[in-house]
């Protein structure tokens, strides 16, 4: 299966993605944070522009936090920009550079299990399983005969994915699995007739059993009705440059969000994205580089 996958990947893989042309842990970390829940086509130009502006961790940490937030605008989850900035600063302080060791990466603010494994594998060549949705789905189907990964205990899935890694060449293998999941073994309408693993795939051999019905849950609110949408709108307003009074921000929000504006601003302040100054609000760190923050950060 590994050999068949490798042959397919050499012919069909996404080899031109810019973050695959580097082994620099900092550049790989930037790409992994940007790619979370964001399409490759949207990330590519933003990634290239980011590295042209801040090519290493030192240049990023010298930048004012506000400039980093502004550069991130439009990629979603603006606090990821602050977490990335903090992780770069702490990497320099603790290790002298962004590390490629999984344990050291996990010690950085905001870096969770997937991000640490991905940087360790793709930058450091470490033999560790980075279970993004594509890798998890291909592993579940091809090796365990399951339609979707969430039906499996994560520890079992990780153990199987790790066993599948070759003793050498884990990076190339894992990139191949990712591409197979993105291009062929898709979540819906998988192209099994084009799959290099079709002859050995446990899910295909079992007749492609459907996943179990998920438990019923309340429908999610439309995105424009969510607090996340409103907070993003506020960050976009502040990114325009001029500090704004609370009442100016309220007036520019959709009507349903106006009563909650102060709560949104407090949340943005806690996340290190906005700050009050002289009765107005602005992006955190506007106009000056910031030191390393000890503020707790959500996991990336």
State pLDDT tens for residues 51-73.
999 999 999 999 999 999 999 98
Q: What is the rounded average pLDDT for all residues in the chain?
A: 92
Q: Which long-range contacts (CB under 8 A, 24 or more apart) does 295-299 make?
A: 295/86, 295/270, 296/109, 297/79, 297/82, 297/83, 297/86, 297/109, 297/110, 298/79, 298/83, 298/110, 298/271, 299/110, 299/111, 299/112
pLDDT of residue 213: 78
Distance between CA atoms of residues 157 and 137, nearest Å: 10
The active-site residue, picked from 32, 90, 102, 104, is 32
Distance between CA atoms of residues 140 and 157, nearest Å: 7
State pLDDT tens for residues 101-154.
999 999 998 899 999 999 999 999 999 999 999 999 999 999 999 998 876 778
Distance between CA atoms of residues 199 and 230, nearest Å: 49
pLDDT of residue 299: 47
State pLDDT tens for residues 224-262.
999 999 999 999 999 998 999 999 999 999 999 999 999
Active site residue 32: yes
pLDDT of residue 232: 95
Q: Identify the structural domains of the chain with CATH numbers, from first to last.
A: 2-122 (1.10.340.30), 133-205 (1.10.1670.10), 223-283 (1.10.10.10)
């Amino acid at each position: 299966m590994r050999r068949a996958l490798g042959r397919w990947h050499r012919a069909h893989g996404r080899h031109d993605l810019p973050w695959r042309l580097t082994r620099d842990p900092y550049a790989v970390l930037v790409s992994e944070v940007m790619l979370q829940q964001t399409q490759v086509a949207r990330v590519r130009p933003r990634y290239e522009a980011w590295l042209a502006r801040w090519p290493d961790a030192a240049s990023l940490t010298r930048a004012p936090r506000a400039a980093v937030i502004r550069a991130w605008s439009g990629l979603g989850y603006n606090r990821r920009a602050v977490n990335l900035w903090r992780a770069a600063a702490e990497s320099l302080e603790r290790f002298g550079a962004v590390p490629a060791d999984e344990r050291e990466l996990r010690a950085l603010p905001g870096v969770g299990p997937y991000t640490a494994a991905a940087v360790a594998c793709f930058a450091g060549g470490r033999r560790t399983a980075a279970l993004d949705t594509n890798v998890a789905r291909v592993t579940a189907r091809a090796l365990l005969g399951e339609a979707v990964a969430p039906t499996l205990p994560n520890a079992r899935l990780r153990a199987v994915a790790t066993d599948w890694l070759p003793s050498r060449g884990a990076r190339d293998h894992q990139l191949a699995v990712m591409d197979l999941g993105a291009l062929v073994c898709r979540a819906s309408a998988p192209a099994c007739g084009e799959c290099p693993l079709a002859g050995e795939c446990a899910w295909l051999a079992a007749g492609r059993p459907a996943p179990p019905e998920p438990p019923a849950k309340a429908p999610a609110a439309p995105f424009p009705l969510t607090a996340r949408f409103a907070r993003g709108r506020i960050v976009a307003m502040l990114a325009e440059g001029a500090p704004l009074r609370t009442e100016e921000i309220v007036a520019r929000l959709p009507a349903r969000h106006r009563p909650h504006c102060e709560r949104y601003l407090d949340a943005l302040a806690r996340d290190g994205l906005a700050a009050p100054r002289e009765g107005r609000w602005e992006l955190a760190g506007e106009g000056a580089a910031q030191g390393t923050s000890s503020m707790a950060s959500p996991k990336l």
